[in-house]
Structure 1
Amino acid sequence: MTFSVAVAGASGYAGGELLRILAEHPHFDITTVTAHSNAGAPLILLQPHLRSLRHLTLGDTTPETLAGHDVVFVALPHGKSGELTEHLDDNTLVIDCGADHRLADEAAWDAFYGGDYHGAWEYGVPELIVGDSRQREALRGARRIAAPGCNASTVELSLAPGVAAGVIESTDIVSVLAVGPSGAGKSLKPHLLGSELMGTANPYAVGGTHRHIPEIAQGLRWAGADDVSLSFTPVLVPMARGILATSTARLTPGTSASSVREAWEAAYEDETFVQVLPEGVMPRTADVLGANTALMGLAVDEAAGRVVVVAAVDNLAKGTAGAAIQSANIALGLPESTGLTVNGVAP
């Protein structure tokens, strides 16, 4: 079975990554790609690495252009996808890689994003623990899916096993992330120029202002947290893509190091794309480049009474496009791993 696919926002980084993965998917036929200011240009001029798609031309991003497809992936800035997707057919599978449909709490949207609130869709992190189940159960047969924020899903997956097992407290969480600038999109911004990034590390959205904070809190509440207090600090580093997230949380009284490892290993032992590394081994972003894989290293700081989880993902792959395609597979009844790889690119 083959599904016709359109990708809106195909000239950006997220759109390009969607197309790179979709091009090798055996059940998806990319028939339409769209953009805004680049409409009318050959796709290959904007995404020169996608040689197999050089026959495609970017169309206008309108409901009319996207109509008639089985699957529509939307990779637009926040505030832009909601006003577009409300005009698409209810029977079309629509996966939004932007932020417009991630938050169930309208007040959180108003506080961190602002503008029109377009409602929450099914959340596209299949492995996320939700009560006694996983989020993938909510994705089966879904027709509206919100792909996650890359930083948010990385932290959620890092800490959800501890929350669900009751071995960590959710009211004293600290996460510091080294992130590549591709997560900020392809638009020209002076602080993302190579000359501004090379040889330096730049913190941003410091002091509880990052827009992924309410998304992380939402995911951890789904995993079982009564309340979430999170200090979240991202740091831009000079690598094009990737996230290395170091998250720490206080252990609940009486929790042993062995029970901590048991919680994480039990949570992910049957997962293809989330893997806990052996004791004493920590991940590198280089090991997940181009892969739909989240790798986690786990340690217990006995003196501080805290668990330390170090997670590596490719922000464009598992963090965005891979999660979107993985979720689409589930929604359509395809094997979850179809078209996706756990293997990275090295060196």
Structure 2
Amino acid sequence: MNRTLPEIFSDILTYNGSLVEQTDDGALEVIAPQHVSGLLGISEHARLCFSYDAVGGDAIYASYGSDLFKALAGLFEDRGRCSVARFEASPLNIRKLIKTIPGEFSFSNAIFRFNRTEIKDVRYLMLYLKYTALSDEKHEGILPVLINCMTMSIMHLTKDADEIMEGLKVINVPYSGAPTGFINEQEGIKLYKSAYSAADQMIRGRLKDFIRSLERRLNRDTKRVYEYYETLREETLRAIERKREGPEDGADKLRDKLNVIETERKWKIQDLIAKYALNVQIEPVAAVAIETQVPVFWISIKRRLASREFPVTYNPVVRQFDDLPCESCFYPRGHYYVCDDNLHIVCNSCFSVCSLCGKRYCKACYKDICPKCKR
């Protein structure tokens, strides 16, 4: 339901202990507590107007973009940043879900078998991330993600976030003031690092058209710079050729000019690369920890002679199996692989082939350094 700005002001001020009455001309007569008036920078008895033409006398302009509208955010402090909720899941047909597991998951270099199942409380974290993508242009947006705190599977929520919120029952818990007030510190750090790693790739996918545009403009401008300095270089070479019959110092100056041209060309191209480079900044805006009962299916993953047990979960919040995580980038792309050293589950992008020696290696184990050639 759409609400007018005066109605929103009235609700917020009333919630914070003010007495509010709307007048016939659309203004608000407000009697505010001392802490509210001090925070907003108004007197305890104030008249708020929402039309600039109506401002006069002691009336305060309170429309969008006004100082009072900006100060209103101070009344919220950190409320709403973190909360805990319960999701009551509908009964599920466990036997039917077990039968679908072989078709839901697969590995390119390993096999697995189903071991056992159990119903247990699992916590999900619905995290709203604000991103700012900076280059020669600026792009901003909100990215909601859903994280399985047990398996570290991360899902990009597109149209489901509002629907999920409607099905939650909020649990009142004291807010600690920390970014992960409802999660222990070690788990919180791990979750946020994983979420940031996945979100960076999700954001770049969302901005793929913009990134293509950056690459086109970079290639276009680099070509222009190269052609411009190549023209100067060719003119200088012709001048050197003409100077062969003349004094040697004249030719030396032209050769020095050639070096200057090449240096300037490199600088210009580096400036272009810096201009069109994409810098993505991510910060958490709000988080909701969702507690719910989840069927957990334990599978045994076998790679050569080694094996590892791993939980596969059916997510009742979005009514589908959670994807297997990539334990390197947490945003799996392509097929899944299992590494030999630690049996990490990694995606095709993180089980890459070394360009020098041709060995496949796990980036969860070795990051970006090949263990064979050390490069």
Q: Please classify the TM superposition score into its range, dividing by the shorter chain length.
A: under 0.3
The structure with more radius of gyration: 2
Return the TM-score normalized by structure 2: 0.20
Q: RCO (CA 8 Å, sep 6+): is it higher in 1 or 2?
A: 2
Return the TM-score normalized by structure 1: 0.21
